[in-house]
Amino acid sequence: MTQLNDCSAIGRRIALLNVEPLTTAERTAIVSPHNIVVFDTTLLKLFFAQNGVWSTQAESGGGYVPGGADVAIVDGGTGASTALIAARAANLGFAHFIARQTTLITHTGTTGETTLLTVTVPAGAMGANGIVIIKAFWEFVGTAGTRTPRIKFGGTQIMGIVWLSTYISIKPDDTVIWNVNSESAQRSAPANNVTGGTPSGNLFPTAAINTANAVNVTFTMTLGNAGDTAKLSFASVEVIPSN
């Protein structure tokens, strides 16, 4: 059995969490593990097991969030930890991020609508009254034409704003979509003021998308002049499942 120095930072955290420190070899040697939480001293990660499957989570902000690195099969996992953690968060009614995009995505050279980012909301993650909060920050360069960012949920546009050519600063586009007593009935609304831009499409659209299946959230951009540049500076998709 692996021993850790109780004076070490890791040792103190394990003591606080009241979990067992094991090497990868010791952990994976457990037959049919179930409802076990251990700290893997080889990989320096916290693992939990249920029904014989090991999963891990990435630590962030003092808590644990879905989206951590999947556990490889050679380490005793199945490569499906992210989906498992998201499912558990949904079952418990926890708000959780499906994706956070912080790498700049730059678009120029065409006036056709172009998809810059796609995020998949897992099947059943919302429940009958769940909510999806979508955030995006755009930066514009050049003043020759308009810029029209759009957000689509399952192919249905739920946000679209035509920003005038004079606006070159970063613009937030926040959108909320929620299920209405059904996994196949939604309403949505922009969460931000559109001052300085003109709505493209209905500001409060409805949809009939079966969220019992996986649903894609897409972020697109249309330039009025191919010489201008639009940048998706940041995007996130957060799910608040039904209680």
Pick the CATH number of 98-240 from 3.40.50, 2.60.120, 1.25.10, 2.60.40: 2.60.120
Task: For residues 98 and 58, give the distance between their C-alpha atoms in angstroms, rounded to a whole number.
Answer: 13
Mean pLDDT for each 10-residue chunk of the chain (243 residues)?
42 49 85 78 76 62 39 49 56 74 93 95 90 91 85 89 71 83 88 49 76 94 93 91 78
| Per-residue pLDDT at 62 | 34
Domain ranges of the chain: 9-92, 98-240
- 84: alpha, beta or left? (left if phi > 0; alpha if psi -120 to 50): alpha
Task: For residues 173 and 151, give the distance between their C-alpha atoms in angstroms, rounded to a whole number.
Answer: 9
| Per-residue pLDDT at 12 | 43
- The beta strands (E) that lie in 57-125 are given as 58-60, 63-65, 96-101, 105-108, 114-121
What b/e sequence results for 112-127 when a residue is b if at least 16 CB atoms lie within 10 Å of its CB, and e otherwise?
eeeebbebebbebbbb
Tokens representing 68 are 């951590």
| Per-residue pLDDT at 5 | 40
Nearest CA-CA partner of 213 in 173, 178, 184, 177: 184
Q: Bridge-partner residues for 22, per DSSP?
A: 40
